[in-house]
Amino acid sequence: MTNISPEQFTLIQLWFAGICTLAIYSLLYKENPVYRIFEYMFLGLGSAYGFSFLYKDVMIPKLWDPLTQGQWWWFIPFLFGLLYFTVYSGKFSWMARTLIGTLMGLAAGYQFTQVVNQYFPQIRDSFRPLTPAAVEAVRAANDVVTTQPAWQEAANNLVFFITLIAVMTYFFFSFEHRNKAVVKTAQLGRWLLMISFGTMFGSTITARAALAISRIIFIVYDWIGHYTGWKM
Amino acid sequence: MGNIDRRILYLIALLVMTLPLFLKLPLPIADNKRSLDAFDAIEKVDQSKGNQVILLSVNFSPDTKGESLPQARAMVVHMLQRSKKFIIYTMSSTGVAGQQMVDDEAKAIAAELTKQGKPRAYGKDWANMGYKPASSPILEGMARNVPGFFTKDSRGTPVDQLPVMDNIKTADDIGMVIDVSPTASYELWIQALTSKFDIPLLLAPTSVMVPDTYPYLISGQAQGELRGVLGAAEYESLLVKNKMADQSSVGTRVMTSMAALNAYIMILIILGNVTYFRSLRKGEVTK
């Protein structure tokens, strides 16, 4: 069998990637068997990659190597890990639940401490000066130098404050919204949420378009450009 | 309008995205505060005492290469130009491919700089520390013992033989964390490292994730952000303005096509609404 040179291998990769891209985008024309074959191939490749990676980079260096070097105690967590497979037995499935419960308890307890780092700064930041005079006072106290007029920051803070209160009111389900002020505030909260969801949807389109453009760049400059000499 | 075959619309979209690539239209990129803040934060990292390495956390796989690679590339150009030492790390098994792409980009940029008389080398200016699965407790462990976490690089070189890791012992020796990721991996950094040890954090999420990051930026938990491929284009423009690059790179080219596509989508939305309301008035459709 002849050896494949690195240049030939790169060329095979290029053609394979190009054909895969076209096959996946063929769905835009219509649902077709070529698309399905490549879709399943991607799923299969993804699963195989994940499994081989875990085996090569986790199972071997983290379990097999230490065990074969005499560090027998690594077998204990491995045994605990095996308890997951008891879910397939009606009689012993309770053993898997003890493991899952322990891990969930550990994660919940740990996460509780992490909330301090993750969300407390945001809660602290939600206390903001709402008048230009208060903005000036806060700036002076914190030695903040900025060219932004104080009234602009106060206006921004007011929008932030109204949004915070309105959206929190919308999600407050402890009692029925009967009071007219509460109903109107919750309605405003819903509108503000819709605006933010619209922003997110716009971002989603941008993200997908960027990925499509990057595939076009690949096809035009890397694949076709390999033969025509087109450069970015 | 309502009867147009959607495939014709897709075909026009394809042309709208492709033509600007060939026409090489110059797209003016305005400065943005988030990108400027990111740029300034990297400038401020002080490595004069031999530590304060920048940790570049790369967690993207080839599927988001179009957005994430231009972001990472722009910051790598900046760090290599300014000789800011950095290590590339991934906490995601699928991020290894992205990590390798960034490492390859760094190699190409370093070779170009070396040709220009600014020698940059692997191991001295940057290193690829490979993949290690992470969670908050694991990263907290890393904060206490950085060389114990990164025992060797992706090429198998022991960490004590990498000059870039000299004097790097604990979280106090990490000058900055940059998270280039299509997932919320920045939350792990905030939980375990940056908030706790007061380390600056820069975000480089994909466009779809940008709105989720605002609370962290507004509260000061992150110091700057490259907002998807637009952020990459803004950063490339800053590199040109600061004479660290001759011309904008792939991020700006993608944004040129993106601007054309956005205009096309807006026209379709307007036409769609006009057609809908006209049909409504004529009684052809009901609410």
Asked if residue A1 has pLDDT above 60, the reply is: no
Q: Does B8 touch chain A (CB under 8 A)?
A: no
B195 falls within a domain: yes
Domain shared by B108 and B42, yes or no: yes
Query: What pLDDT is stored for residue B203 in this prediction?
Result: 97
Contact B136 A54 (CB under 8 A): no
Domain CATH number, residue B35: 3.40.50
B43 falls within a domain: yes
Asked if residue A24 has pLDDT above 70, the reply is: yes
B79 falls within a domain: yes
Q: Looking at residues B184-204, what average pLDDT do you find? A: 92
Across the A:B interface, residue pairs with CB atoms under 8 Å apart total 114
Element (H, E) at A48: helix A33-54
Domain shared by B159 and B269, yes or no: no
Asked if residue B56 has pLDDT above 90, the reply is: yes
Domain shared by B20 and B62, yes or no: no
pLDDT, one tens digit per residue, over A27-58 is 999 999 999 999 999 999 989 988 898 888 78
pLDDT, one tens digit per residue, over B138-187 is 898 999 999 999 999 999 999 999 999 999 999 999 999 999 999 999 99
Domain shared by B131 and B229, yes or no: yes
Q: Could you tell me what percent of chain B has a pLDDT over 90?
A: 71
B204 falls within a domain: yes
ipTM over 0.90: no
Least CB–CB distance from A210: residue in B67, B191, B195: B67
Closest chain A residue to B227, measured at CA = A203
Domain shared by B10 and B81, yes or no: no
pLDDT, one tens digit per residue, over A194-219 is 999 998 898 888 888 988 998 998 99
Least CB–CB distance from B219: residue in A122, A206, A213: A122
Query: What pLDDT is stored for residue A2 in this prediction?
Result: 67
Is 0.95 topped by the overall pTM? Answer: no
Least CB–CB distance from A28: residue in B10, B208, B258: B10
Closest chain A residue to B263, measured at CA = A206
Q: Based on the structure, what is the number of domains in chain B?
A: 2
B210 falls within a domain: yes
Domain shared by B230 and B144, yes or no: yes
Cβ-defined contacts of B122-126 (< 8 Å, 24+)? B123/B153, B123/B157, B123/B161, B123/B162, B123/B163, B123/B164, B124/B85, B124/B163, B124/B164, B125/B80, B125/B83, B125/B85, B125/B86, B125/B164, B126/B76, B126/B79, B126/B80, B126/B85, B126/B86, B126/B87, B126/B88, B126/B164
B252 falls within a domain: no
Give the confidence band of B260 by pLDDT, cuts at 50, 70, 90: very high
Report residue B131: phi and psi, to 5°: -105, 135
pLDDT, one tens digit per residue, over B28-41 is 888 899 999 999 99
pLDDT, one tens digit per residue, over A69-124 is 999 999 998 899 899 999 998 889 999 999 999 999 988 888 888 888 889 989 99
Q: Looking at residues B9-17, what average pLDDT do you find? A: 94
Contact B196 A117 (CB under 8 A): yes
Of B219 and A3, the one with more pLDDT: B219
Domain shared by B177 and B92, yes or no: yes
pLDDT, one tens digit per residue, over B63-115 is 888 889 999 999 999 999 999 999 999 998 889 999 999 999 999 999 999 99
Distance from CA of A89 to the nearest CA of B (A): 30
The domain in which residue B78 lies consists of 30-247
Least CB–CB distance from A210: residue in B66, B131, B211: B66
Domain shared by B140 and B268, yes or no: no
Query: What pLDDT is stored for residue A171 in this prediction?
Result: 93
Domain shared by B272 and B210, yes or no: no
